[in-house]
Structure 1
Amino acid sequence: MTPCTKLTDLPAFGELRALAAALQSTAIEDLLRDQHERATSYCREAAGLHLDFSKQLLDAAALAALIALAEQARLPARARALLAGDEVNNTEARPALHSLLRAPAAPPGLEHAFAAVSDTRARMRDWAERLNQGRHSGYAGQAITDVVNIGIGGSDLGPRLVSGALKAFHDNIACHYVANVDPADLQDTLLELDPATTLFIVCSKSFRTEETLSNALAARDWMLNAGAAPADLDKHFLAITTNLEAAAEFGISRDNCLPMWDWVGGRYSVWSAVGLSCAIAIGWEHFEAFLGGAAAMDAHFATAPVADNLPMLMSLLEVWNCNLLGAGNHVVLPYDQGLARLPDFLQQLTMESNGKRVAADGTALDYDTGPVLWGSAGTMGQHSFHQLLHQGTRPCPADFILPLTTHTGMARQHRRLVANCLAQSRALLVGRSEEAARTSLLARGLDEAEAARLAPHLVMPGNRPHSVISFEAVTPHSLGALIALYEHRTFCSGQLWGINPFDQWGVELGKEISSSILARMDDDAPRPGLDAATERLLQAWRRAQR
């Protein structure tokens, strides 16, 4: 696939600049009032998700220009190329086939790769059913009750999100997650577990990832110290890896290894064997529904025109807010405790994908890509960072994520949660004028002078752009659709910015330097190559070990 045109070279970009400048003094509330159909015409649905972008700072002319921008960037053709297995990752010369992992059938030309996916799905199903039915025992003859996934980055964030979000669908096995090389992460996880009934899944494509391997070795020692023999390790360890030799050296047989493929990036891998812990946690039937939700979003992405295409519209809104309205960040606000990990997951998905300084052809960019993504589950954020959203000076475009029902059975409490979400959305829209603040203070019993003094502190400008993504409930299907929606939005934004969203060279330098520092930690004598500040801290560490 040919490299994308840079954003600023697209003909519609100049028009969008003029439209953005003209809209800066426009009130979104006025647009909603004056455009009677806006509350419905600025909404789209797909795969059970409803996107309401009526509270974004754009009018019909800006929306039309954004759609033209997408057409000029050939987003529909690029979406089809992604799904067809074209070489979209130009710096590593390979496709990005995460959509194949949830495809119901082989797309033309991808039959060989799909056969490998189908075989892996069958093996995942076997492990999920065997464990949940109590048919796999540990070294002491007891059935496995707990699974610990050891990974980092995409081998942790995706599975951790899915397992946490779908607790209402959990089967018989409890799943836990360890990622940090800090020994406290593993130690705290193992404190309440029994080695005889615990199974570990080690997720590392190379089986050399420093954090993952360190934790896996410590887990193996924990198992051996509890009484397991080396020959018993196969009863307690699985690996998701391509390095079968290193796994065998560790003590994990080939039969206990499931594959990872080069054409799937870690942050897109939850649909693969990396998601085995999820399949175990929620059972295979529900995991298939999770894949099905994503596949439904893939089908929509491939066929819907730009004006109705949820991932493309969300990408256009991201570029509009970031590059034309000056917002350098994006906040995600899930109003569901099960989705509390969604901002963490999306941070990696979007910032590792699109945090780039050069175009796909290697030339430097003179505009921003990959806004800083952050967020927290509602309603906790309302009592912390929402203050900045309402009264801060920097724009923070937002996505509210709102399931309309709850699995808890506590409808009255969920009613309050929904009310809080809608209230925050409206508060960001309308704000509060100084006159309204003064009237409110007078109603509280303050005199005129004190009300006038305090009123400026209660003013909220409003007019904060945001979208609301709602759906009936957090289910395997809706969660799959939601994650796939953000995956495709991330891809489209990368195409509009003219970058490759599938490499992550920025991750590599820190790994290289860490390896060189580790190699020197036993050497007391300073050597050339480190800056003075790092050398001083290294010497402080050495002294602390004595």
Structure 2
Amino acid sequence: MKNINPIFTKSWKKLYKHFLVIKDKHMKDFFLEDVNRFKKFSLSFKDLIFLDFSKNRITDKTLTYLINLAKECGLKNSILSMFNGKFINVTENKPVLHTVLRNFDKKNIFINGKNISKKVFQSLKKMKNISNFIINKKWRGYTGKYITDIVNIGIGGSDLGPLMVTESLTPYKNRLKVHFVSNLDGSHIFQILKKINLESTIFLISSKTFTTQETMTNAKTVKKLFLKNSNFLKSDLSKHFIALSANKNKVMKFGIDKKNFIPFWDWVGGRYSLWSSIGFSIVLSIGYDNFSLLLEGAYDMDNHFLNSPFKKNIPVLLALISIWYNNFFKSQTEAIYTYDQYMHKFSSYLQQLYMESNGKRIDRNFNVVSFQTGSIIWGENGTNSQHSFFQLLHQGTKLIPSDFIIPIHTHNNINNHHIKLISHFFAQTKALAFGNSLNKNSKNKIFKNKEIKKKFFIYKECPGNQPTNSFLIDKITPYTLGALIAMYEHKVFSQGVILNIFSFDQWGVELGKNIAKDILLTLKKKNISNKYDCSTNGLINFYNSKK
């Protein structure tokens, strides 16, 4: 990977001059000047995902400069480096190979002389065999009952990805009830335990290291509940616990049988791990065949990203447009709205993908950056969001680029619900782009006085000029969801390459964890604390005084 500061490239300088020319231009004018704008600025992926990016504050010249920026920063070679297993996660000295997890062309990839593709196929085969055994009621708990419930215990990527996918693919669920526990707050595990019967439940302990405090605390709580039962033997743990991890030794030490250990590897980042054994809860929820379709959709998007020229490359264009707003318009945030109730966790999932990956302030040259890196990601389901924070989008002071996602065909075609939903989707992107054109002399039942009416009409004005990308998905299926997730993964990767940062570590996450371990020891001693800053000491001592 090239280590190029983007602001010193020729393209960045041209982009800045270009920005000064068009920064105050309204989107209405862009459309008036180019009647072919929609056709020019839209792309299709296999006729299943259609992207309209015409409602952006860009021109042909903008895209030319942005694409040249990607070329100057060596994006193509960086893409090849990732797919070929180069050690691009430099700060952890690892390759980045989540794409191998959905490797449908069965290409052999080697790391240090070992064929990792072979290991992936072995893991998938184990997932298939065990899931079929459980789904088909052949797996029995310690009292002989067949399994009815699955509880995934994990946090971060070991929770957000599988939870989002199983929720998004609710129409494909089988008889098993799948639950997720992530929070260290005991209320989370307590509420789940009230819903299940231990005798007919399998717990998936999902942790790369098998040392994550939140996950292992919840796992040990469940283990103790089993061991309290006089009829339960330690050997029965294999009937109720399955480990999804890269640390076999820790799994064995916990007491989980090696036949219940489904591995993944340290070259799989947590937020990219739903494609691995961490996605076993997905397999149990929708069946292995549907999970395979999820992988296939991602694989096809991988090939689109790998082989398409930048001007036709959806993830690359999305990344460049985000850099355009974040660094030139200083927008700082991006929003994602899913007009599909089942996808209500999608924005939360993308928050981790974006912000854990590109929330960095040191570049690949060991320097503090002088530009914007990761955007703040947020969002909600439509149409709920329209009745809460859309007011700020339409009449507030922030520039907020947004992605709108909707299926053309719904899984639940009840009365005229979906066509109304579609109408809101189209209406909001239009309103955000073009605003309204109120007439000062228009009818207003509230204000009869003409002079007052002229003054108050301004409160109804919506200026528009808010950029949006519109995604029309044929239908939310395992295949299209897999492609959509991979699309965003590659968008984030492309941004990281161009912005000259390392996207695949997350050292900032570790700091708070390490401090918490030290504070926990202090809390257990119940002594007066004076080893930290005055605020932290004060909080600890106040807490201890109330215990």
Name the TM-score, length of structure 2 as normaliser: 0.96
For residues 112-149 of structure 1, the C-alpha deviation after alignment (integer angstroms, 9 at most, x for no partner) is 00000000000111122111111101011010011000
Q: 1:410 to 1:168 in 2, by over 3 A?
A: same
Alpha-carbon distance in structure 1 between the residues aligned to 2:441 and 2:542:
60
Paired residue secondary structure (1:238): strand
Aligned to 1:29: 28
Q: 1:29 to 1:243 in 2, by over 3 A?
A: same
Alpha-carbon distance in structure 2 between the residues aligned to 1:441 and 1:484:
50
Kindly indicate whether residue 360 of structure 2 is the aligned counterpart of residue 347 of structure 1: no
Aligned to 2:86: 86
For residues 156-201 of structure 1, the C-alpha deviation after alignment (integer angstroms, 9 at most, x for no partner) is 0000000000000111211110100001111111212111111100
Find the partner of 1:460 among 459, 462, 473: 462
Q: Which moved more, 1:104-113 or 1:20-29?
A: 104-113
Find the partner of 1:362 among 338, 359, 366: 366
Aligned to 2:15: 16
Aligned to 1:107: 107
Kindly provide the amino acid, as one letter, of the partner of residue 103 in structure 2: A
Alignment gaps of 5+ in structure 2:
none
Q: How does 1:465-476 map to 2 (within 5 A)?
A: 465-476=467-478
Q: 1:317 to 1:182 in 2, by over 3 A?
A: same
Residue pair 2:162, 2:278 contacting (<8 A) in 1 also: yes
Aligned to 1:241: 245
Residue pair 2:282, 2:291 contacting (<8 A) in 1 also: yes
Aligned to 1:171: 174
Alpha-carbon distance in structure 2 between the residues aligned to 1:373 and 1:180:
21
Q: How does 1:54-453 map to 2 (within 5 A)?
A: 54-110=54-110, 112-225=115-228, 228-410=232-414, 412-433=416-437, 435-436=438-439, 438-439=440-441, 441-442=443-444, 446-453=448-455
Residue pair 1:431, 1:463 contacting (<8 A) in 2 also: yes
Paired residue secondary structure (1:239): strand
Alpha-carbon distance in structure 1 between the residues aligned to 2:476 and 2:283:
16
Paired residue secondary structure (1:152): coil
Aligned to 1:506: 508
Paired residue secondary structure (1:191): helix
How many residue pairs get aligned? The number is: 542
Alpha-carbon distance in structure 2 between the residues aligned to 1:125 and 1:443:
66
Measured after TM superposition, the shift of residue 439 of structure 1 is: 4.9
Residue pair 2:530, 2:537 contacting (<8 A) in 1 also: no
Kindly provide the amino acid, as one letter, of the partner of residue 252 in structure 1: I
Measured after TM superposition, the shift of residue 443 of structure 1 is: 6.2
Residue pair 2:447, 2:453 contacting (<8 A) in 1 also: no
Aligned to 2:489: 487
Measured after TM superposition, the shift of residue 446 of structure 1 is: 4.2
Q: 1:290 to 1:527 in 2, by over 3 A?
A: same
Q: State the percentage of identical aligned residues.
A: 34
Residue pair 1:358, 1:499 contacting (<8 A) in 2 also: yes
Q: Which moved more, 1:209-218 or 1:234-243?
A: 234-243
Residue pair 2:529, 2:540 contacting (<8 A) in 1 also: no
Kindly indicate whether residue 511 of structure 2 is the aligned counterpart of residue 529 of structure 1: no
Measured after TM superposition, the shift of residue 229 of structure 1 is: 2.9
Kindly provide the amino acid, as one letter, of the partner of residue 204 in structure 1: S
Residue pair 1:442, 1:448 contacting (<8 A) in 2 also: no
Residue pair 1:397, 1:466 contacting (<8 A) in 2 also: yes
**Alignment RMSD (CA, Å):** 1.5
Paired residue secondary structure (1:399): strand
Measured after TM superposition, the shift of residue 411 of structure 1 is: 5.3
Kindly provide the amino acid, as one letter, of the partner of residue 12 in structure 1: S
Alpha-carbon distance in structure 1 between the residues aligned to 2:213 and 2:294:
31
Residue pair 1:441, 1:455 contacting (<8 A) in 2 also: no
For residues 26-50 of structure 1, the C-alpha deviation after alignment (integer angstroms, 9 at most, x for no partner) is 1212212321111111011224321
Measured after TM superposition, the shift of residue 326 of structure 1 is: 1.4
